Chain A
Amino acid sequence: MNLNLFKKPTVIIVDDHLIFQQGLKSIITAENIATVIGEASNGKDFIDILSNTKPDLVLMDIDMPQMNGLEAAQKALELMPGIKIIILTMFGDEDYYYKMIDIGVKGFILKSTGIAELEKAIHEVMRGESYFSNELLTKIIRNFSQNAYQRKKLVNDLTDRELMVLQQICQGLTTNEIAEKLNISPKTVKSHRSNLLEKTACKNTPGLILFALKNKIIEL
């Protein structure tokens, strides 16, 4: 895993605005952040490229003709389950966020942020972490506040232990670290974690973190 810190990732850029593709490639190359090995202007072209190229990372727009970013991400993750996808998005795309996280994209950043934040996101994701810009998380939480009643019921279904484990997961602790901290066995932590996933209908850790955020179990 540490090797990734030193190895420049290979990247495919997917965006229907050619000038954006070219500009992003230019700056990523100039700043020596990654090696761009492919470009596509819609989801379909991207999936075609994947049949003979295996990038470390994909930088993907959402709103594109023919096949949008959501569908493309889903297809790509079916074809290559480990593929790391960062979504480059605009205000107004909020409807897609939760679904995207659910299917397993690793990060979201807004196009209104700059190359410095993109670089940070790429580093985090290449280290095996997720990256979501704070601005977006705030939006997501606001989005979900509409379903307050249902969520409250869900939270009430969680046991105190599960809530404690959830809080620790959100701190970024590993299973073993949580076990040590709460003075329980790693096996118990794992079983709490799978109960949490099941009860909240989340598929992965970023999903759990979002759940915790929007239910104010943790705060930004």
Chain B
Amino acid sequence: MRLTTFKKPTIILVDDHLIFRQGLKSLITIENLGKVIGEASDGKEFIKLLSLPDPDLVIMDIDMPHMNGMEATQKALELKPDLKIIVFSMFGDEEYFLKMTELGVKGFILKSSGINEVEKAISDVMNGEKYFSNTLPKNTINKLNLNKPQETIEKPKTPIPWW
């Protein structure tokens, strides 16, 4: 029973671990979440794929050789600003999250999540929303949801000496 409906997207998978891509593709196909039309094992390969018909969605790793996910995202969104990108990453990659949201990615999920969460993310993003996994560290989610510069968070003021 599926509570959400969404247009089944065409998808490009970008991850340097072939066996990860093969597994994810198998799951996406079996669970009928979309159609994988392309795969790339690094950012460079992915950018080349962008000369082909646009995918509805890109699922992107961060840590990859040659060109990492952040640089690839930046390049891809310069070429195609409306491209929907979901970052699928690991604990420890948090430093990139804020920057990538600013670049315009539509969602973040961690690889410790399962296919159910991938489905939720795809569904939300295909319906025009953003999706930030609640398995992300709390302070990261707060920053992402606020989506405003850190400076607006009130800082304790330096006490003024009474004299």
Contacts and interface: CB of A to CB of B under 8 A. Distances in A.
A1 interface: no
A16 B19 contact: no
Query: What bracket does the count of chain B residues touching chain A fall in?
Result: 20 to 34
A192 B111 CA distance: 49
Given A22-B114, A115-B19, A17 B90 contact: yes
A27 B23 CA distance: 6
Given A18-B111, A111-B20, 12 more contacts: A17-B90, A18-B112, A19-B24, A19-B27, A19-B113, A23-B22, A23-B23, A26-B23, A26-B26, A88-B19, A112-B41, A114-B22
Q: Is the interface of A mostly helix, strand, loop or mixed?
A: helix
- With most chain B CB atoms within 10 A of its CB, the pick from A22, A23, A27 is A23
Contacts of A18: 111-114
Interface of A: 16-20, 22-27, 30, 41, 88, 90, 111-115, 118
A20 B113 contact: no
Contacts of B90: 17
A19 B111 contact: yes
10 contacts: A22-B27, A23-B25, A24-B23, A25-B23, A27-B23, A27-B26, A88-B19, A112-B16, A112-B19, A113-B19
A27 B25 CA distance: 9
Interface string B99-141: 0000000000001111100100000000000000000000000
Contact of B30 (A30, A41, A115): A30
